[in-house]
């Protein structure tokens, strides 16, 4: 198994294949293309739709504590469940889900290195069986807002100099404002560029 700087966060396909039957592990697929799950997914995985289950569309924001509790409860996840997230497009929305779960205090959240593409490239099994898990009464923690920077904080950090580094993970075309969103995705930003 490759050595990662943070093996408690990043797992490989070998690790996941060995833990698929572990009842304390829940595998969640979060894709840009929300129809990908139906084409075949990792055995035991359930799907979270980033457009309807991981975004508060009314507030245009991350989920509320109550929404996280509902989603995790419906997914059969308890506070001691190891959640392994994966998806297409370099795990974009798997990472989005990871961040939200950490904000609300879930202790053991991991990302499948290489996501869906790596699982398939390694010749791992896919299934069309949709699992069903018993609901739980998940209770999230209050949001840890130290894991999130709001616009006034970013402005203050940039104006005051220092050792602040902003990392933009979008494509070069999004960064320059040439496009507002990756091809095939709805344009959800309010303006282009950086």
**Res. 127: pLDDT tops 90:** yes
Are 142 and 136 contacting, i.e. CB atoms less than 8 angstroms apart?
Answer: no
Average pLDDT, the chain: 91
Backbone angles phi, psi at 53, to 5 degrees: -115, -15
Structure confidence by residue, pLDDT tens digits, 18-40: 999 999 999 999 988 888 999 99
Residue 101 makes CB contacts below 8 A (sequence gap 6+) with 68, 83, 109
pLDDT tens for 133-186 read 999 999 999 999 999 988 898 888 888 877 788 888 778 888 898 888 777 666
Helix (H) or strand (E) holding 63: none
Sorted by where each begins, the domain ranges of the chain are 10-143, 149-194
pLDDT tens readout for residues 83-115: 999 999 889 899 999 999 999 999 999 999 999
- Residues 76 and 68: their CA atoms lie apart, in Å, by 12
Q: Is the pLDDT of residue 1 over 60?
A: no
* Assigned architecture for domain 10-143: 3-Layer(aba) Sandwich (3.40)
- Alpha-carbon distance values, 93 to 87, 104, 132, 158 (Å): 7, 17, 22, 27
Kindly report the pTM of this predicted structure.
0.88
């Amino acid at each position: 198994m490759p050595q990662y700087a943070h093996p408690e966060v990043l797992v490989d396909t070998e690790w996941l294949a060995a833990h698929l039957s572990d009842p304390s592990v829940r595998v969640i697929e979060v894709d840009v293309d929300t129809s990908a799950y139906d084409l075949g997914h990792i055995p035991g995985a359930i799907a979270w739709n980033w457009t309807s289950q991981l975004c508060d569309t009314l507030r245009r924001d991350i989920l509320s504590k109550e929404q996280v509790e509902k989603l995790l409860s419906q997914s059969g996840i308890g506070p001691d469940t190891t959640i392994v997230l994966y998806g297409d497009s370099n795990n974009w929305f798997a990472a989005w889900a990871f961040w939200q779960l950490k904000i609300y205090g879930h202790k053991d959240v991991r990302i499948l290195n290489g996501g869906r593409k790596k699982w398939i490239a390694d010749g791992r099994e896919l299934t069309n069986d949709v699992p069903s898990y018993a609901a739980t009464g998940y209770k999230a923690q209050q949001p840890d807002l130290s894991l999130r920077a709001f616009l006034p904080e970013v402005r203050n950090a940039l104006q005051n100099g220092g050792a602040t580094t902003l990392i933009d993970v979008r494509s070069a075309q999004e960064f320059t404002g040439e496009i507002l969103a990756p091809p095939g995705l709805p344009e959800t930003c309010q303006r282009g560029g950086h």
